[in-house]
C-alpha cells in the first residue's frame, strides 16, 4: 500500500466563502494602551450619541466596561480622547475631543490603507481555505 504525500488529495472541491474575510488592525502601544476596531467603534458611538452610556448600550456593553475602555484610551495619549461631564440635572454626557476625532480618522485611514495593501494576499489565502460542510 502506498501512501500519498499530497495532503489535498482527499479534499472536497472548494466553494467560495459566504462573506469576504476581513483583517482587523490593532495598534498596541503597551499592555493596556491599545487602539483597535472595538475601541474606535466606541469612540465613534460616543461622538454619535453624546453619551458614554448610550455608546456602551449600542455595543451591548456595560457602562463600567465602556468607562474603563475610555479611561484607558484617555491615559494612552498625551491628552484625552473623550471629555466626560458628570450627571446631575443635565444627566452628564460625553464628547469626542479634537484628539479623539484625529485618532478615529487616522485609525480608519490606516485600516483602509492596510486593507488595500493586503487585498491580493488575502484573496490568495481565501482561495486556499478548507471547506467545512
- Domains belonging to the chain, first-starting first, are 34-124 (1.10.10.10)
- Residue pLDDT, tens place only, 13-39: 555 556 779 899 999 999 989 999 999
What is the pTM for the complete model shown?
Answer: 0.80
Indicate the pLDDT class of residue 62, thresholds 50, 70 and 90: very high
Give the angle subtended at the CA of 76 by the CAs of 97 and 51, to the nearest 5°.
Answer: 40
Cell of 56: 456602551
pLDDT at position 92: 72
Amino acid at each position: 500500500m502506498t501512501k500519498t504525500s499530497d495532503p489535498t488529495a482527499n479534499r472536497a472541491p472548494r466553494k467560495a466563502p459566504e462573506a469576504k474575510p476581513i483583517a482587523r488592525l490593532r495598534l498596541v502601544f503597551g499592555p493596556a494602551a491599545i487602539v483597535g476596531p472595538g475601541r474606535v467603534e466606541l469612540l465613534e458611538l460616543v461622538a454619535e450619541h453624546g453619551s458614554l452610556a448610550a455608546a456602551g448600550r449600542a455595543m451591548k456593553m456595560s457602562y463600567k466596561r465602556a468607562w474603563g475602555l475610555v479611561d484607558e484610551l484617555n491615559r494612552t495619549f498625551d491628552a484625552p480622547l473623550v471629555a466626560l461631564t458628570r450627571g446631575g440635572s443635565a444627566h452628564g454626557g460625553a464628547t469626542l475631543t479634537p484628539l479623539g476625532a484625529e485618532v478615529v480618522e487616522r485609525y480608519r485611514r490606516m485600516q483602509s490603507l492596510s486593507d488595500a495593501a493586503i487585498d491580493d494576499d488575502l484573496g490568495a489565502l481565501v482561495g486556499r481555505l478548507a471547506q467545512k460542510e
